[in-house]
Amino acid sequence: MLRGFLLISLLFTIAIIAVFGFRGQKSTGSPLEIFPDMVRQMKVRAQAPLNFFSDGRGPRLPVTGTLPIGYEMPTPKTIATPAAITATVEALQTHPRVGFSVGTDYYDTGKMANNWGTGIPLELTRELMERGQQRFNITCAMCHGATAAGNGITKQYGLATVVTLQDERIRKMADGEIFNTITNGKNTMMAYGPNIVVADRWAIIAYLRALQRSQNAAIADVPEDHRAELEKQ
């Protein structure tokens, strides 16, 4: 009984001191730092002079030959690329504005005036679809699953909020809104704009539409002479 009382009053005293005690007072002296970590260190501050370099400038100029990200990279001819991919990369590069979002038009934002627009602003070719499939499998499938059913591998590791893209809401969503989700992310999905060039985002959407169609098809969508094949499987 007495032990309990002593323990409780000790905890109580500690709590009172923690809340009200040692609040310090104003001082003009430098504070006592027991572990200063890296608070004070010699470092480069943006736009500030620095005596370290002979020209007295802190920030350095980029190394000669540095390419700003988002602009066309020279494709080394020495790396063997499968013909299909080379063809697609070239096709993408012939588009006047390969790169990351730079403009305010539909192609770069997914918006037509104030609304989400719809439609793929690139020519829908087999190459574009294959490019979209490849990019989808690289950048989206680990979360959304290979058929976009929301069952990617990350779900098994606890990313519980991944949604299925086969949902009616997403099937009916404007292409431009999906473009924006890829570019800027949405709620718990992070932005993929900095990782995927604009043309590839559209290629992914084109492929996603094909996936949605494939998972919501009726037998009537299959050409008649191919129906027998399906029934066999």
Measured in Å, how far apart are the chain's first and last C-alpha atoms? Answer: 77
Which of 142, 149, 174, 210 is the binder for ligand HEC (CB under 6 A)?
142
Q: Which is nearer to ligand HEC, 170 or 198 (CB)?
A: 170
For position 163 contacting ligand HEC by CB under 6 A, the verdict is yes
For position 203 contacting ligand HEC by CB under 6 A, the verdict is no
| Half-sphere exposure of residue 17: CA atoms within 13 angstroms, side-chain side | 7
Q: What is the sign, positive or negative, of the torsion defined by CA atoms of 154, 211, 122, 116? A: negative
For position 186 contacting ligand HEC by CB under 6 A, the verdict is yes
Which of 140, 197, 198, 206 is the binder for ligand HEC (CB under 6 A)?
140
Q: Which is nearer to ligand HEC, 70 or 193 (CB)?
A: 193
Rounded to a whole number of angstroms, the minimum distance from the CB of residue 179 to ligand HEC is: 9
Rounded to a whole number of angstroms, the minimum distance from the CB of residue 196 to ligand HEC is: 6
CB contact burial 1-36 (16+ within 10 A = b; e otherwise): eeeeeeeeeeeeeeeeeeeeeeeeeeeeeeeeeeee
Helix (H, G, I), strand (E, B) or coil at 140: coil
Tokens of 72: 């066309």
Find all residues with CB under 8 Å of 147, minimum gap 6, and list them.
166, 211, 214, 215
For position 112 contacting ligand HEC by CB under 6 A, the verdict is no
Q: Which is nearer to ligand HEC, 186 or 213 (CB)?
A: 186
Which of 93, 125, 134, 139 is the binder for ligand HEC (CB under 6 A)?
139
Residues near ligand HEC, by CB under 6 A: 139-140, 142-144, 154, 159, 161-163, 165, 170, 178, 181-182, 186-189, 192, 204, 208
